[in-house]
Amino acid sequence: MAYLFTSESVSEGHPDKVADQISDALIDNFLAFDQDSKVACETLVTTGQVVLAGEVKSNTYLDVQKIARDTINKIGYTKSEYMFDGNSCGVFSAIHEQSADINRGVDRASKEEQGAGDQGMMFGYATRETENFMPLALDLSHKILIELAELRRENKDITYLRPDSKSQVTIEYSDDNTPQRIEAIVVSTQHDDFDAVDDVMLSKIRKDIVEILIPRVVAKLPETIQALFNDDIKYHINPTGKFVIGGPHGDTGLTGRKIIVDTYGGKGAHGGGAFSGKDPSKVDRSAAYATRHIAKNLVAAGVADEVLVQVSYAIGVVEPMGIFVDTYGTCPFNMTDGEIAQKISKIFDMRPSAIEDRLKLRNPMYSETAAYGHMGRKNETVSKTFSRPNGGDITLDVELFTWEKLDYVDKVKAEFGL
């Protein structure tokens, strides 16, 4: 029997994502000037206020207030009527030095013997459902909000948009797990106050979302995905009727509260650890990227149509506790998931330092991950400039989303005899 599956996304202006982006901007700035920085930084945002807290071990000094303000302004919180803007909000820093008890289990005389920064389990997932090997409902949810942000910045076709927004997509699947059609789309977008009654305002927003935003999204999709859009989609646009008060003024935001949006939208599994605000010695982040890299290369190589990979660690211990694989019965040849896991251990070195080296995780690549998902993104190299209070700007070429590369497909095929 057919079934429905739903995923959601939130925009860069959502308060939790504002917090994530500030935390990751701090990570990038520390790594830009000291690649060996150890950072765990949490951010809280609320009406007119930012609170930074966490632990840092680094040889560089940064103006964390300026970094926070620049990030907020870049997102689009630049007006006083938002009750939260980068130029006027208060920024309080309670960042202090990293615990020596944690550090002694991570830093070693030999980098290769670096221990895991914490215990826990991390998951990576990939599916043939989309060109970027991501679950379709989540991928569409992200794309809707990315396009909505483009419309907001253009300020031409839709002129009343504010930064905070959410989306949700429900898809009908057949018994063989193939997407059949889109059942429902939810979009809630913050907006300027209208000089009109609420019903007129809501009608205008609904018309613009359905007739301007959605066609722009659909036009950029492959034909196979475009075919899932139909005239019977149930649209729920700003279902509460009004969304003027939003962002950190509407809801307090905290780092790490959108971990399912950050990963696979509820498909596969999640180990529970957040990513943003953590340097790559924290396996919550680095091993989650590494398992995504494994899962994507396995699917691309033809090992299975859908793969979930789990790895687990103990704090201060170099080698992982174990690797688990679930191919959901989609492996086309006679090999058990346990046998696949053993072969993965031969191909991919999962020691923390090896993951950092393989995926180039000591580079300042994290600001771009902090909105619209950490997975399924475009691997590209960009130029980034960083500043510090005592001068000495630095410009670096940084490769983004290295875990999305299909650079191990040939090695996987060779190991599996494909």
Q: Which residues belong to the annotated binding site?
A: 14, 16, 42, 55, 98, 164-166, 242-243, 251, 257-258, 274, 278, 282
Which parts are annotated binding residues for Mg(2+)?
16
Known binding-site positions for L-methionine: 55, 98, 251, 282
CA atoms of 411 and 418, how far apart (whole Å): 10
Binding-site residue numbers for ATP are 14, 164-166, 242-243, 251, 257-258, 274, 278
Query: Residues 268, 272, 277, 278: is their CA dihedral positive or negative?
Result: negative
Residue 34, CA distances (Å) to 28, 47, 87, 418 in order: 10, 33, 28, 42
E strand or H helix that includes residue 262: helix 259-262
> Is the Cα torsion angle 208, 210, 212, 216 positive or negative in sign?
positive
Q: Could you tell me the sign of the dihedral formed by the alpha carbons of 3, 169, 193, 80, in that order?
A: positive
Cα end-to-end distance, the chain, whole Å: 34
Amino acid of residue 232: D
Q: What residues does 315 pair with on adjacent strands?
A: 116
Show the tokens assigned to 214: 């959605």
Strand order in the sheet with 38-46: 90-97, 49-57, 38-46, 253-254
Residue 135 CA: distances (Å) to CA of 128, 190, 331? 8, 26, 18
Q: How far is the C-alpha of 1 from the C-alpha of 95, rounded, in Å? A: 53
Identity of the residue numbered 214 = I
